Chains A and B, each alone.
Chain A
Amino acid sequence: MRTEQWELFKKVAKSHRAERVPLALIMDSPWMPGYLGINHLDYYFDPEVWFESNLRILKEFSEVIIFPSWWVEYGMAIEPSALGCRIHFAPGQPPSQLPGLFHLEDVDQLSPVDPHADGLMCAALHRYRMQKKRIFEAGYTLPVVTARGPLCSASFMRGLTTFMIDLLDNPDGVHKLLAFITDATIRWLQAQAEVIGGTVEGMFILDDIPGFLSRQHYLEFAHPYLKKIFDAFPPSWVKVYHNDANIEPFLEDLAGVGFDVLNWTHKVELKEVRRRINGKLCLMGNIPPVDIATRGTPEDAKRAVLDLLRDEDRNGIVLSLGGGVSPGMPGANIQAMAEAVGEINSK
């Protein structure tokens, strides 16, 4: 994103007031290589392809805030790769991660993660280090550091089904694992901020797994660890949390985690989230990412944006999808969303 786009995003996130509604879309490798017709492996491992791809997207959708901006990612593999999981690169799609912690008690044997040396964290940091000057010179900024949340990473390490059962079978072991991952996550975010430098004033945490839990389990296993991560960084930072699973059981509690902006699922209506959050968070959403944004026509996408904001107070809203940009989302639909937001802002 460009600096002025970040300033707008920051203003809405922090003050909930701005002269315009921003349109911000989470764009990453599940979508980008397919859209550009390039090989996923080239996108991940050829710095030139990665740079040119991001530049092309930024130029093509210049009205859209591409969030989090020049994101160095390898699907969801960065954190699990540093936490001992096997990363599996199938052709034509982001990598998958296979469980690596077969016995929960083995968490005691793990040595602390070193983001500068471990797994794809090291590779991502190197990419930021080598490309940042070029990014700045092209007129863009790098304001946000990013990580998967602790439950997401734990589910990669254990396998999701096993991890869900762990919560009931061995809660003490789960707490040990989550404490370990939380520390690793904080170090990983700090390392990114250190490498990127002074432009960083925001963080983005993605974790859908709390959305599989009851409120009681959310409060025990998710809330304290997410809070510790957000609280580890300055209050002046813009803090964004993504969870497009079922957040309804603990929606009110999210206001106390310590982030400013919530990106949530289209399955919970904006009005309902607003009512329950009661103005405590900026809301980033929530056009249906698949049925409308990907499978709908440009007219559908435009109408969905106009309908969403028609009777809504536009303060404290960043227009986005209920999640990230899904594979196959047509460029025309992104343009249609931008057009709709432009119309709204011109009134």
Chain B
Amino acid sequence: MGLFEEMQQAIIDGKAPVVKELTEKALSQGVKPGDIFPQVIIPAMNEVGRRMRDCEFFIPEVLIAARASRAATDILRPLLVGDDVARPAGTVVCCTIKGDLHDIGKNIVAMMLESSGFRIVDLGVDASPEKIVAAVREHRANLIAMSALLTTTMVNMKAAIEALDAAGLRGQVRVMVGGAPVTESWARLIGADGYGKDAPAAVELARSLIAA
């Protein structure tokens, strides 16, 4: 098994210390930092997404795989500043919407997006429309990923989209939504640009929204 395959496998297996060690080894052997994202991290996380979709992986396995990929990205990011090859696929503001303190869906999506090359601005839970607007403006985000686990709080997604409209930012940012009670029809109803039924779907949606 080559070094890149070994690194991919370690990410899929969720072995963060091994990923760190192999990343350092690769760099010491002269591998360009910019090659590791497209040839290791992104394919590994695509495989994690596939396994989740096919019910081979469940939430714990996805979380530790994402954590392992971060062991590599933490080393690589500082080395990639200004490198065009490693330019983020997009900047995503991730949050659980106002009134909702559930973080797992948002965390998984944020970790998967980050491992897929997106820059993440994580607003945490209970994010107000004002906070979302401010983050989009400050970080010049081109995507927002909003999560809600409660039917009582999902209505606040609509308020956030309205706030983006009122701030004149709606044209520059695409909005995707997800979470247990959220559906495709709800996404359409509130004027979101898309709905991700799970984390792998959210990654695919983010890619397609950025490409559109």
Interface residues of A (CB under 8 A from B): 30, 34, 88, 90, 92-93, 96, 98, 159-161, 164-165, 167-169, 212-214, 217, 248-249, 290-291, 294, 326-328
Contacts and interface: CB of A to CB of B under 8 A. Distances in A.
A336 B69 CA distance: 51
Interface stretch (B31-39, B102-110, B132-140, B157-165): B102-110
Contacts of A212: 58-60
Contact of B58 (A165, A214, A326): A214
B103 A160 contact: yes
- Residue from B57, B103, B152, B153 whose CB has the most chain A CB atoms within 10 Å: B152
Contacts of B107: 161
A217 B151 contact: no
B43 interface: no
Contacts of B63: 161, 164-165
A318 B33 CA distance: 59
Contacts, number: 63
Nearest to B14: A168
15 contacts: A30-B151, A96-B101, A161-B63, A161-B104, A165-B64, A165-B67, A168-B60, A213-B58, A213-B59, A217-B58, A217-B60, A249-B55, A291-B185, A326-B181, A327-B150
B59 A164 contact: yes
Contacts of B104: 160-161, 164
- Name B's interface SS: loop
A93 B102 CA distance: 14
The 6 closest A-B pairs by CB, nearest first: A96-B101, A212-B59, A160-B104, A164-B60, A327-B152, A214-B58
A208 to B, nearest CB: 9
A98 B103 CA distance: 11
Band of interface residues on B: 20 to 34
A291 B60 contact: no
B61 interface: yes
B64 A93 contact: no
B64 A168 contact: yes
A288 B14 CA distance: 35
Contacts of B150: 30, 93, 327
Contacts of A326: 151, 181
A328 B152 CA distance: 8
A159 B57 CA distance: 20
A72 to B, nearest CB: 21
Contacts of B181: 290, 326
A160 B60 contact: no
A234 to B, nearest CB: 34
Interface in B54-82: 55, 57-61, 63-64, 67
Nearest to A329: B151
B61 A168 contact: yes
A303 B119 CA distance: 46
A109 B115 CA distance: 37
B99 A213 contact: no
B46 interface: no
Nearest to A245: B180
B158 to A, nearest CB: 14
Contacts of B55: 248-249
Nearest to B64: A168
A88 B125 CA distance: 13
Nearest to B100: A96
A204 B55 CA distance: 29
B183 interface: yes
Given A30-B150, A159-B103, A164-B60, 19 more contacts: A30-B151, A34-B152, A92-B152, A160-B103, A160-B104, A161-B104, A165-B60, A165-B64, A168-B60, A168-B61, A214-B61, A217-B60, A290-B183, A291-B185, A294-B151, A326-B181, A327-B150, A327-B152, A328-B151
